[in-house]
Amino acid sequence: MLKDSKSLKIAKGLVELSLNEEGRVEPEKINQILTELKNEPTRRSLPILRKFLTLIKQQINTYEGSLEKFDSNADSSSNLISDNISQARGKKINLVIKENKSLIAGFRMRIGDDVYEDSIASRIARLKKSLT
Amino acid sequence: MSSITDLIRKEIENLSTDATRTNVGTIATLADGVARVEGLSKVMYNEMVEFPNNVLGIALNLEEDSVGCVLLGETSLLKEGDEARTTGKLLSVPVGKGLLGRVVDAVGRPIDEKGPIDSDITYPVERIAPGIIPRKSVTQPLQTGIMAVDSMIPIGRGQRELIIGDRSTGKTTIAIDTIINQAKINKKGIESGDADFRPVYCIYVAVGQKNSNVARTIKVFEETGAMEYVTIVSAPAADNPANQYLAPYAGCAMGEWFMENGMDALIVYDDLSKHAVAYRQISLILKRPSGREAYPGDVFYLHSRLLERSARLNEDNGNGSLTALPIIETQMGDVSGYIPTNVISITDGQIFLETDLFNKGIRPAVSVGLSVSRVGSAAQIKAYKKVAGKVKLELAQFRELAAFSQFESDLDAATKARLDRGARIVELFKQNAFNPVAVEIQTSVMWAVQNNFFDSIEVSNIASSVDSLKEYLLTQGTEVCEEIYKTGKLEKETEEKLRSALEDWKRTQS
Ligand SMILES: Nc1ncnc2c1ncn2[C@@H]1O[C@H](COP(=O)(O)OP(=O)(O)O)[C@@H](O)[C@H]1O
Ligand SMILES: [Mg+2]
């Protein structure tokens, strides 16, 4: 399988076109691009679309993450975490809050590939590992 | 009971309360022991990656949108979509004297059912080789116990000497003999109580071999009593290619521990041809571009970075050494293949074994013309250098003359004398497997040949005469042999003693 560098280049260009001034993905613009592609299908459409999808995902991952907590209602700490991470990354990060009973207590935050975790579940897992 | 709760309490106290940060990804494809993982954007080259069910992988291919990981362990426990996470650690293996006498797999886990490895130190399997400054040139001999090698292709501690030849030409046997000889020398040296004695610890890395072959090697070490100085790292043919790829580096890390702690070690890689094939397999699955003989472009680096880690360190750095005997298997005697030429260019010489000689019964089948040791002669003991200095040339001339003399009926006296001497040396160098000979005995026997003690013996009887002489030297001639062993020299006085011992032996012969 040869590296399809041309498709990648095109996909990168398309990502540029789908962003607004703040560097966020604009659904409106994506719709436009998809219609364009549909109207003029080429041999490369499929690889371009695949690359486009991964790049868009990566782009969204830079400003959107998830925050898992035992109880999704307790909100004050969530704001604190969200503020801190936004400051650390130098831009506003949106956190989607999810409930995860298996954590027992604490939190697990995921932004892109990065996972920050401090929960009883993870400590127990670490303890278990250090004892075997 | 309380000690267990204490242990748990201590572990809890040790656990950091900080949030942990890891970098994760998900398995996109999974095939032939290689996982392509999407994500893992912060993984390092060669970093250990953790998969579910305690499966580990190593990140080998870092691409823009995915990471290729070779998997170690039970890959059937994984499936696409599983999470992978970085560990921030490079793969490490246990090192130290606790590994002696043990058989371990490519990541240092015991496979000999002798319980856990007694070691609390680990070394990363990939390390940067020592630079130029801490090194020193080779000065101390490493005796293989094989006459043909020790006399003509002497090896020094810290040297890298390639053993190359077709299949079944006795390559493995030379390596095993060398290890057995180290064990013999170690035992004698340690018994003598000499404070300056430096034992050589051995590591035998078996890559891509049949399990039955590895079992046979282990048995030989056990039967000859060598096992207590040997660590075996085994990644047999049935093991996945990732383990076969890693085993030499893991063994090297174990050898480096000895070197860096001021000791001497010997490592055998049996063999690097299969190692290269395992690497090719991994590279093809990782879809790396392939070049000559379908090997990836960095296959030279695969072996150069491994063999460069063998070195002789200078006094300021502890004076340790790591000697390497890599083995390469050729096809139909062709040394111009990609992998053979690469490894020949990296090593300090080669012992070339020929199928023709082997089939003619000249075993070990060392080809005199094609074998060379580029640094070892500086390390040969003085006594041996004195008697064996000209042997290589004599033997090479003999081969040439023998080819010509087939057509010649009447030869002049000088030529005939050369032919006679050559034929006797060929016989002298024949040596059975697993039967290494101490250097002082080798020196004495060689001296006997050079001083015409064998001239009156029929060529066909040389082998048995040599055996009887060795036996005689081991029983009656111990005093003079001991002198050569202790001083490493052959002074006039010693020479006279040797002559009289040989004359005594000669009288028992007729
Ligand atoms: N010096 C020797 N004398 C007698 N037999 C030998 C000698 N060297 C090797 N052999 C025999 O030859 C066979 C092949 O040897 P081996 O070392 O396994 O070859 P390779 O590693 O090159 O494939 C073995 O059965 C071994 O016992
Ligand atoms: Mg072999």
Q: Which residue of A has its CA nearest to B23?
A: A114
Taking CA atoms only, the protein residue closest to ligand 1 atom 6 is: B433
Q: What stretch of H or E contains B283?
A: helix B272-285
Best of B173, B205, B363, B431 to mutate for ligand 1, by most ligand atoms within 8 A of CB? Answer: B173
**Are both A104 and A75 inside the same structural domain?**
yes
Q: Does A54 touch chain B (CB under 8 A)?
A: yes
Q: Which of A18, A37, A61 is the last residue of a domain?
A: A61
Three-class DSSP category at A118: strand
What is the DSSP secondary structure assignment for residue B366, as one 8-state letter?
B
B339: which residues sit within 8 A by CB, 6+ positions away?
B272, B273, B276, B293, B295, B299, B303, B328
Structural domain harbouring A42: 2-61
Which atom, in ligand 1's list, is nearest to the CA of B166?
Answer: 22
Best of B163, B166, B168 to mutate for ligand 1, by most ligand atoms within 8 A of CB? Answer: B168
**Are both A68 and A119 inside the same structural domain?**
yes
Q: Does A84 touch chain B (CB under 8 A)?
A: no
Note the ipTM here.
0.76
Contact assignment for B38 to A116 by CB distance below 8 Å: no
Ligand 1 midpoint to CA A72 (Å): 71
B464 lines ligand 1 (CB under 6 A): no
B171 lines ligand 1 (CB under 6 A): yes
How far is Cα A51 from Cα A54, in angstroms, rounded to an integer? 5
Which residue shows structure tokens 């900080």?
B18
pTM score, whole prediction? 0.86
Contact assignment for B20 to A110 by CB distance below 8 Å: no
Total number of domains in chain A: 2
How does pLDDT run across A44-86, given as a tens digit for each residue?
888 888 888 888 988 888 888 889 888 777 667 788 888 888 8
* Residue B249: half-sphere exposure toward Cβ, Cα within 13 Å: 26
**Are both A27 and A11 inside the same structural domain?**
yes
Q: What stretch of H or E contains B7?
A: helix B2-14
Q: Which of A24, A43, A61 is the last residue of a domain?
A: A61
Which residue shows structure tokens 């009971």?
B1
**Are both A54 and A78 inside the same structural domain?**
no
Three-class DSSP category at A2: coil
**Are both A13 and A55 inside the same structural domain?**
yes
**Are both A48 and A74 inside the same structural domain?**
no
Q: Which residue of B has its CA nearest to A107?
A: B19
**Are both A54 and A68 inside the same structural domain?**
no
Give how far the C-alpha of residue A13 lies from the chain's centroid of Cα atoms, to the nearest Å: 20
**Nearest C-alpha of chain A: how many angstroms from B19?**
4
Contact assignment for B42 to A115 by CB distance below 8 Å: no
How far is Cα B156 from Cα B183, in angstroms, rounded to an integer? 17
Q: Which domains does chain B have, with CATH numbers?
A: 21-90 (2.40.30.20), 94-380 (3.40.50.300), 386-509 (1.20.150.20)
Closest CA to B48 of B36, B57, B40, B39: B57
**Are both A56 and A88 inside the same structural domain?**
no
Q: Which residues of chain B have pLDDT under 70?
A: 1-2, 11-18, 407-409, 510
Judge contact between B262 and B229, C-beta under 8 A. no
Contact assignment for A122 to B42 by CB distance below 8 Å: no
- Which range (A13-17, A123-127, B320-324, B502-506) has the least confidence? A123-127
How far is Cα B152 from Cα B388, in angstroms, rounded to an integer? 7
Question: Which of A8, A114, A126 is nearest residue B21 as measured by Cβ atoms?
Answer: A114
Which atom, in ligand 1's list, is nearest to the CA of B270?
Answer: 21
Q: Where are the beta strands (DSSP E) in B145-289?
A: 162-165, 200-207, 230-235, 264-270
Helices H / strands E in chain A, number of each: 5, 4
Which atom, in ligand 1's list, is nearest to the CA of B213?
Answer: 18
Taking CA atoms only, the protein residue closest to ligand 1 atom 12 is: B170
Which residue shows structure tokens 């604490």?
A106
How far is Cα B344 from Cα B162, in angstroms, rounded to an integer? 7
Q: Which of A14, A46, A61 is the last residue of a domain?
A: A61
The separation between the first and the last C-alpha atoms of chain A, rounded to the nearest angstrom, is 43
Contact assignment for A114 to B42 by CB distance below 8 Å: yes
Question: What tokens does B440 get?
Answer: 């002082």
Question: Which of B8, B19, B23 is nearest residue A118 as measured by Cβ atoms?
Answer: B19
Judge contact between B321 and B344, C-beta under 8 A. no
Q: Which residue of B has its CA nearest to A50?
A: B65
> Chain A residues with CB inside 8 Å of B24's CB?
110, 113-115
Judge contact between B330 and B141, C-beta under 8 A. no
Q: Residues B180-183: contacts with CB within 8 Å, 24+ apart?
A: B180/B145, B180/B220, B180/B221, B180/B224, B180/B226, B180/B434, B180/B436, B181/B143, B181/B144, B181/B145, B181/B146, B181/B436, B182/B142, B182/B143, B182/B226, B182/B229, B182/B266, B183/B224, B183/B225, B183/B226, B183/B228, B183/B229, B183/B230
**Are both A54 and A91 inside the same structural domain?**
no
B274 lines ligand 1 (CB under 6 A): no
Judge contact between B271 and B329, C-beta under 8 A. yes
B285: which residues sit within 8 A by CB, 6+ positions away?
B31, B32, B33, B34
Query: Does a cis peptide bond (omega within 30 degrees of 0) precede residue B241?
Result: no
How far from B184 is each of B97, B102, B143, B155, B213, CA to CA, in Å? 18, 18, 11, 17, 23
Q: Does A66 touch chain B (CB under 8 A)?
A: no
Contact assignment for B22 to A115 by CB distance below 8 Å: yes
B364 lines ligand 1 (CB under 6 A): yes
A118 vs B51, higher pLDDT:
B51
Q: How many CB atoms sit inside 10 A of residue B1's CB?
A: 5
B173 lines ligand 1 (CB under 6 A): yes
Note the pLDDT of residue B269. Answer: 98
Confidence of residue A1 (pLDDT cuts 50, 70, 90): very low
**Nearest C-alpha of chain A: how many angstroms from B54?**
10
How far is Cα A72 from Cα A70, in angstroms, rounded to an integer? 6
**Which residues does B contribute to its contact with A (CB < 8 Å)?**
7-8, 11-12, 14-15, 17-25, 38-42, 64-65, 85, 287
**Are both A54 and A80 inside the same structural domain?**
no
Question: What tokens does B42 get?
Answer: 């912060």
Contact assignment for A54 to B287 by CB distance below 8 Å: no
B188 vs A41, higher pLDDT:
B188
Q: How many CB atoms sit inside 10 A of residue B211's CB?
A: 13
Ligand 1 midpoint to CA B340 (Å): 20
B463 lines ligand 1 (CB under 6 A): no
How far is Cα B385 from Cα B403, in angstroms, rounded to an integer? 28
Question: Which of A1, A113, A116 is nearest residue B19 as measured by Cβ atoms?
Answer: A116
How far is Cα A114 from Cα B41, in angstroms, rounded to an integer? 9
The separation between the first and the last C-alpha atoms of chain B, rounded to the nearest angstrom, is 78
At B207, phi and psi to the nearest 5?
A: -115, 125
How far is Cα B180 from Cα B187, in angstroms, rounded to an integer? 11
Note the pLDDT of residue B1. Answer: 55
Strands B34-39 and B20-31: antiparallel
How far from B146 is each of B113, B159, B295, B449, CA to CA, in Å? 33, 17, 35, 17
Bridge partners of B59?
B69
B495: which residues sit within 8 A by CB, 6+ positions away?
B447
B400: which residues sit within 8 A by CB, 6+ positions away?
none
Ligand at minimal distance from the CA of B163 is 1
Contact assignment for B39 to A110 by CB distance below 8 Å: no
Question: Which of B11, B20, B64 is nearest residue A130 as measured by Cβ atoms?
Answer: B11
**Are both A32 and A76 inside the same structural domain?**
no
Q: What angle do CA B23, B27, B30 make, to 5 degrees?
A: 145
Q: What angle do CA B116, B122, B128 make, to 5 degrees?
A: 145
The residues of B carrying an active-site annotation are 374
How far from B380 is each of B142, B144, B224, B314, CA to CA, in Å? 8, 12, 26, 19
**Are both A89 and A47 inside the same structural domain?**
no
Taking CA atoms only, the protein residue closest to ligand 1 atom 16 is: B170
Question: What tokens does B190 get?
Answer: 């340690």
Q: Does A122 touch chain B (CB under 8 A)?
A: yes
**Nearest C-alpha of chain B: how many angstroms from A81?**
12
